[in-house]
Amino acid sequence: MAPTLTEEIAAAAARLVVEDGMEYGPAKRKAAKLLGRTSLRSAEMPANEAVEDEVRAYLQLFCADTQPAELRALREVAAQWMERLAPLRPHLAGAVWRGTATRLSAVHLQLYCDDSKQAEIFLIDQRVPYEVGSRPGPRGESVDVLTLASTSRVLGESVTVHLTVLDHDDLRGALKPDSRGQTSCGDLAGLRRLMAQSVAQS
């Protein structure tokens, strides 16, 4: 049976995620354009879960020799920053948490603060250079994203780290499991469990 348009977009988006380090949303939109579809109904766009399934399949087929070590290196970077940012309740999200990251992926940390400026003050006190951006928050409002660079000695290059500043009350919703029983983020203890499991399986 020929794949549906939604399946084709998911597969094309997965290649963009792995090969170009794109995030899921932009990758899906670019994939649709590459397939010659400039306007789509929302129902025709694949869910992130479908793209993630395709990413895992692509990694297994083409990157099985390199991706596990790259994922471990990025998780080490994440753990270092989570230790450093401990007062801001850091939680790891994105591909590094879900296990689909490659060396092109950014580390996404969510900081749950009592004051939206608490994270910036912390970085300034630590003399960490950063850039300020924004993205839609969990309630649709704009939230700050602080972006910094962190060197990975294992990868031999700089890793982009995005710090999304959220309200402390948002944490409860972030820890709810999805339809597959997986959470969208986890704390340092959870990350260390994943890292230990990875070592045991290798």
Contact between 134 and 75 under an 8 Å Cβ cutoff? The reply is no
Q: pTM value? A: 0.92
Beta-sheet pairing, 107-113 with 90-93: antiparallel
Query: What integer pLDDT is reported at residue 92 of this predicted model?
Result: 97
For 102-145, how does the pLDDT look when each residue is reduced to its tens digit (9 = 90+)?
999 999 999 999 888 999 999 999 999 999 999 998 888 899 99
Beta strands in the chain (DSSP E): 90-93, 107-113, 131-136, 142-152, 157-167, 185-186
What is the rounded CA–CA span in Å between residue 161 and residue 146? 8
Q: Which residues of the chain have pLDDT under 50?
A: none
| Cross-strand partners of 159 | 150
Query: What integer pLDDT is reported at residue 45 of this predicted model?
Result: 93
Query: What integer pLDDT is reported at residue 115 of this predicted model?
Result: 85
